[in-house]
Amino acid sequence: MVSFFVRGIPKAQGRPRVVRFRNGRVGLKDPEASRDWKSYVRLVAAERVSRPIEGPVALELWFYLPVPKSFSRRKRLAALAGEVLPAKKPDLDNLVKAVLDALLGVVVLDDRQIVEIRAGKLYGAVPGVEIVLRKPKRAG
């Protein structure tokens, strides 16, 4: 089992933009915020994992978002206790996609290895993402 925490406000995978290169070719470019977040996650993952995991992998991702400043003291405490959940942007699937892209080639060789995903968004005193990789449970 491998487990680590990446500090920082989680960024969702943004929509790629079509760009035209000087040689006339066309390509897709990641938005800067997505690209920077993925690079940072990749860097932290590379420090924690010496070589990519082989075989099937179960992945848990827990995204801790900052509590909005507009929350009252009571609502802030409820949010930190898990009683109020962040049912707002960014979308969970886009957060997961950004982290998956960052882990490829560093923690896992290919995204086909991931056979089970569990993910969630919570409010946290320290924003970031908790990443847990383990052997999957048996089918059946």
Q: What is the CATH number of the domain that holds 23?
A: 3.30.1330.70
Establish if 139 belongs to a structural domain.
Answer: no
Q: Which residues, 6 or more positions from 76, have their beta carbon under 8 angstroms from its beta carbon? A: 67
H and E: helices and strands count for the chain = 3, 6
Average confidence (pLDDT) over 112-138: 93
pLDDT band at 70 (very low <50, low <70, confident <90, very high): very high
Dist. CA 63–CA 60, nearest whole Å: 10
Domain count for the chain, please give it. 1
Contacts of 66 (CB under 8 A, 6+ apart): 9, 123, 124, 127
Domain extent at residue 63:
2-134
Q: Calculate mean pLDDT across residues 30-54.
A: 90
Q: Torsion over CA of 88, 90, 92 and 96, rounded to 10 degrees?
A: -170
Does the residue 119 lie in any domain?
yes
Average pLDDT over residues 84-95: 93
pLDDT, tens digit (0-9, with 9 covering 90-100), for 100-109: 999 999 999 9
Classify burial at 37, counting beta carbons within 10 Å of its beta carbon; exposed 0-12, middle 13-18, buried 19 or more: buried
130 within a domain of the structure (yes/no): yes
Q: Is residue 58 part of a domain?
A: yes
Q: Is 43 helix (H, G, I), strand (E, B) or coil?
A: helix
